[in-house]
Amino acid sequence: MKRPLSFLAFALASLLSGGCDSPDVVPTADGRQNTRSARIEGSLVVQSRARGNAIVFLYDAANPPPPAGSGRPVAFTVVTAAELFGASLGDNSTGPFTAPFSLSLVEPGRYLLRGFIDADTCRNVPQPCHVSDFNPWYGVTSEPNAGDVGGGAVDPATGATRILEVTTDADGWPQPLTGVSVSFADSATVPFDRPAFQTADAREFTPATTPTKLLTLTPQTLTGAVDQRAPGAGSGGFWVQLVDANKDGVPDDANGDGVPDFWPRVIVRKLAEGVRGYVDENDLNRDGMVDAEGVDYARANGGLDGKPDVVVLAAGLVPDPLLAVLLDGEGKPRPQPVFVPQLLVAVRALALDARDPAAPAPLAAVPPGRYSVTLLQSTGQTWRLPNELDPALAEAVGLPGVQSQAFVLEVR
């Protein structure tokens, strides 16, 4: 029995002695192994009766989330309710409560931090209510709903959103950003669920023969794994209001067409072809930013610009039925939003490249293909058709199929 042990000891000694020299380390083609990154860390500060996990999102400052932009999170982290609220998890005290957070692998750049408390409103509110239901992997479950509490990294004096910058030292190494505070308060409680909708109108749109396509949107109530309830009495409706970004009491008219702007906004965007699911064209990695390479369309003023396009169709809410309820008897805007049972959307036979949202460029023709329809609320909440509840996709990802959520505008 001793010979095998001796042989094993000799073999191990040989391996160890042969391993004394460090192996050569060379760069690889994997960019992640050659990326220098840092971290952003600090504390959450919560003053709220809500209870739930805290979700913190990191955004590129140049690509902010709705309603200011269309950016998607670069990263996110979750701080559990137990860690955040501790012994007060079961009561209704307002705190303040604090807990640490950290976001790792952050590359040099300028960032925004936004977030929300994924509240379990069923603790205090009778049905209908929401349990904590955030799920980052699906568009239909990745945004806040009624009762959730918003937050972010803001200037404590002005309340303005802070831009956080991860810098580098003299040798190019990113420096950690510490001591960052992310605040949440009941004053930022989300008033309504997301603007889930459906339409019974035909999908086809032929710009050559139809200058304007009308779509009637009605609320879509969902229960179960995806829980959405429209605000208002009965079957609910949509929260509508006039846009007044500068708060001067005068409705905005951003495009100068003589018609005031409304919330919610409507976005009709071209979808990518030849990929599974519903992915925006020229955003195949779904990061909310235009891909470096992609499809380019001729512009109305002639030729290509050599850059991938963000193709949207000119679309908006039909104003007459909304102005009837949003203006008082003297034609002055009402200060509060109102509910309407449905929305009438006009989609024009005009395509634009919205790569620069501030200066969309008309295209020479409307590109044929599939287009999504999105409602965007002033709260930043959105709802898009089509989505993962399309029965053709839902079962594979463990969601309930809802036929109305498979609607897609088909331009011919």
158-168: per-residue pLDDT in tens?
889 999 999 99
Task: Write the DSSP symbol of residue 250.
Answer: S
Asked if the model's pLDDT at residue 287 lies above 90, the reply is no
> Which residue type occupies 347?
V
Asked if the model's pLDDT at residue 304 lies above 90, the reply is yes
Region 20-48: mean pLDDT is 72
pLDDT band at residue 25 under the 50/70/90 scheme? low
Confidence at residue 379, expressed as pLDDT on a 0 to 100 scale: 93
Q: What is the C-alpha to C-alpha distance for residues 163 and 149, in angstroms, rounded to an integer?
A: 21
Please write the tens of the pLDDT for every residue from 124-151: 777 778 888 899 999 999 999 999 999 9
Of 30-34, 69-73, 99-103, which one has max mean pLDDT?
99-103
Instruction: Single out the residue of 316, 138, 338 nearest to residue 237, CA to CA.
Output: 338
What is the rounded average pLDDT for all residues in the chain?
89
Q: What is the C-alpha to C-alpha distance for residues 52 and 40, in angstroms, rounded to an integer?
A: 22
Region 72-82: mean pLDDT is 96
Higher-pLDDT residue of 271 and 357 is: 271
159: left (phi over 0), alpha (psi -120 to 50) or beta: left
pLDDT band at residue 232 under the 50/70/90 scheme? low
pLDDT band at residue 53 under the 50/70/90 scheme? very high
Asked if the model's pLDDT at residue 176 lies above 60, the reply is yes
DSSP 254-311: TT-SSS--EESEEEEEEBPSSSSS--BTT-TT-SSS--SS-----BTTSS--SS---E
Region 252-277: mean pLDDT is 91
Weakest mean pLDDT among 31-40, 148-157, 345-354: 31-40
Asked if the model's pLDDT at residue 154 lies above 80, the reply is yes
Asked if the model's pLDDT at residue 101 lies above 70, the reply is yes
Task: Write the DSSP symbol of residue 334.
Answer: P
Confidence at residue 386, expressed as pLDDT on a 0 to 100 scale: 98
pLDDT band at residue 211 under the 50/70/90 scheme? very high
Question: Which residues fall within 8 angstroms of residue 6, CB to CB, at 6 or more apart?
Answer: none
Confidence at residue 129, expressed as pLDDT on a 0 to 100 scale: 83
Question: Which residues fall within 8 angstroms of residue 353, CB to CB, at 6 or more apart?
Answer: 297, 299, 305, 309, 310, 311, 360, 361, 363
pLDDT band at residue 97 under the 50/70/90 scheme? very high
Query: Does the reported pTM lie above 0.85?
Result: yes
Confidence at residue 259, expressed as pLDDT on a 0 to 100 scale: 86
Higher-pLDDT residue of 165 and 286 is: 165
Confidence at residue 120, expressed as pLDDT on a 0 to 100 scale: 92
Asked if the model's pLDDT at residue 16 lies above 80, the reply is no
